[in-house]
């Protein structure tokens, strides 16, 4: 039996759900029960009846499911897979800020550790940030950790006063305006769809900004008018969709837009986790999980 067939048999025997982020390699996405952006993964994996969840993604994604569904056994398939942005801000600094500025809402991107979620009021993802920030009663907002996503939200929601600190995704932040202009010169008829983790000077050249799921909808549902699309996010999206839309998709910066942490997961490491030879079961202290749950539940409440 091939590896994929063994994985599917084990998932069925264990009553387990295999969840994969859209940046995972195509063979991992094909092996999964659900594939989605970080919002969809948090919501759907926590809501499922499955007692066990194997997360093919990075640590904060597995932690998010464990926080929302503490009775499930949640296994991070690759224990070393961690989003560097998730720990760029010290939770003690946020706690200090809160004490000094009680009028501020602290909004944490979901790409954060449980410790950072625990000192925040609400989490957002790139697909829900605009809606959630608009719905908050507070005018003053500290947005952590991604300064680029925070800047994008600030431009789209000018009625709020948004403070950002120095945090960024090392993969998306490497995109430059020159990269986008060069891709447009090569494909003048193509639209540009970009993740808002990219820097503002690149983002302002895009036709559309959105989460990985929004970019996929844009390609699929013809927001792009069926035209060619320059895709400015981690290459997992194009690697999976290219065969379905031959000649329509152009990966921006093929060499730079690769997240090494997302690419750690392989079919072999998924199999090893399912056979209890690898992976890491997520365990969080009750007090930490309870504090972090509040901000994730607020995300689901405001984000719909």
- Note the residues at the interface with ligand 13P (CB under 6 A): 37-38, 83, 111, 125-126, 169, 197, 211-212
Q: Is the peptide bond before 142 cis (omega within 30 degrees of 0)?
A: no
Among 40, 42, 114, 169, contact with ligand SF4 (rule: CB under 6 A): 169
DSSP state for residue 104 in the 8-state scheme: P
Residue 63 sits in the site that holds ligand SF4 (CB under 6 A): no
Q: Do 74 and 282 contact (CB within 8 A), yes or no?
A: yes
> Taking the complex as a whole, how short is the minimal distance between the CB of residue 94 and ligand 13P, in angstroms?
20
Residue 284 sits in the site that holds ligand SF4 (CB under 6 A): no
> Taking the complex as a whole, how short is the minimal distance between the CB of residue 133 and ligand 13P, in angstroms?
15
239 binds, options ligand SF4, ligand 13P, none, Cβ within 5 to 8 A by partner type: none
37 binds, options ligand SF4, ligand 13P, none, Cβ within 5 to 8 A by partner type: ligand 13P
Give the strands of the sheet with 280-281, arranged side by side: 34-36, 16-21, 52-56, 73-76, 280-281
Query: For residues 4 and 300, which CB has a smaller minimum distance to ligand 13P in the complex?
Result: 300
User: Residue 113 is encoded by which pair of tokens?
Assistant: 């550790």
CB-based burial label for 159 (10 Å; 0-12, 13-18, 19+) = exposed
DSSP state for residue 188 in the 8-state scheme: T
Closest residue to ligand 13P using C-beta atoms: 37
> Taking the complex as a whole, how short is the minimal distance between the CB of residue 173 and ligand SF4, in angstroms?
8
Residue 58 sits in the site that holds ligand SF4 (CB under 6 A): yes
CB-based burial label for 248 (10 Å; 0-12, 13-18, 19+) = middle
> Taking the complex as a whole, how short is the minimal distance between the CB of residue 169 and ligand SF4, in angstroms?
3
CA gap 82, 5 in Å, rounded: 28
Residue 56 sits in the site that holds ligand SF4 (CB under 6 A): no
Site string for ligand SF4, 249-268 (x = CB under 6 A): ----------x-xx------
How many residues belong to the site for ligand SF4 (CB under 6 A)? Answer: 14
Residue 7 sits in the site that holds ligand SF4 (CB under 6 A): no
Query: For residues 136 and 237, which CB has a smaller minimum distance to ligand 13P in the complex?
Result: 237
Which of 124-132, 164-172, 211-219, 223-231 is the region at the interface with ligand SF4 (rule: CB under 6 A)?
164-172
Q: Do 259 and 192 contact (CB within 8 A), yes or no?
A: no
Note every long-range contact of 63-67, with CB atoms under 8 Å and residues 24 or more positions apart, other chains counting: 63/113, 63/114, 63/282, 63/284, 63/292, 64/38, 64/110, 64/296, 65/19, 65/41, 65/282, 66/282, 66/283, 66/284, 66/289, 67/114, 67/117, 67/284, 67/289, 67/292, 67/293, 67/296
> What is the distance between the terminal CA atoms of the chain, rounded to a whole angstrom?
42
> Taking the complex as a whole, how short is the minimal distance between the CB of residue 110 and ligand SF4, in angstroms?
10
Please give the residues from 185 up to 204 whose contact with ligand SF4 meets the rule CB under 6 A: 197
User: Contact residues for ligand SF4 (CB under 6 A)?
Assistant: 58, 83-85, 111, 169-172, 197, 234, 259, 261-262
């Amino acid at each position: 039996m091939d590896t994929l067939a063994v994985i599917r048999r084990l998932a069925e025997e264990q009553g387990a759900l295999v969840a994969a982020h859209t940046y995972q390699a195509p063979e991992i996405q094909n092996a999964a029960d659900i594939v989605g952006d970080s919002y969809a993964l948090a919501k759907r994996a926590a809501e499922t009846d499955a007692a066990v969840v194997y997360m093919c993604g990075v640590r904060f994604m597995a932690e998010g499911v464990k926080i929302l569904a503490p009775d499930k056994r949640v296994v991070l398939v690759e224990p070393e897979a961690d989003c560097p942005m998730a720990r760029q801000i010290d939770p003690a600094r946020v706690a200090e800020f809160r004490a000094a500025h009680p009028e501020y809402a602290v909004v944490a991107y979901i790409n954060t550790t449980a410790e950072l979620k625990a000192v925040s009021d609400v989490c957002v993802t790139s697909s829900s940030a605009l809606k959630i920030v608009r719905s908050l009663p507070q005018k003053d907002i500290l947005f952590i950790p991604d300064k680029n996503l925070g800047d994008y939200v600030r431009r789209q929601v000018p009625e709020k006063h948004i403070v950002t600190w120095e945090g960024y995704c090392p993969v998306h932040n490497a995109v430059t305006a020159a990269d986008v202009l060069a891709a447009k010169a090569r494909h003048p008829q193509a639209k540009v769809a970009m993740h808002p983790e990219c820097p503002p000077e690149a983002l302002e050249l895009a036709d559309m900004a959105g989460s990985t799921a929004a970019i996929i909808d844009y390609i699929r549902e013809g927001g792009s008018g069926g035209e060619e699309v320059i895709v400015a996010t981690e290459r997992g999206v194009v690697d999976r969709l290219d065969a379905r839309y031959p000649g329509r998709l152009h990966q921006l910066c093929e060499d730079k837009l690769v997240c090494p942490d997302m690419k750690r997961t392989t079919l072999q490491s998924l199999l090893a986790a399912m056979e209890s030879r690898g992976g890491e079961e997520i365990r969080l202290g009750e007090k930490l999980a309870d504090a972090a749950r509040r901000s994730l539940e607020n995300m689901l409440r405001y984000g719909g």
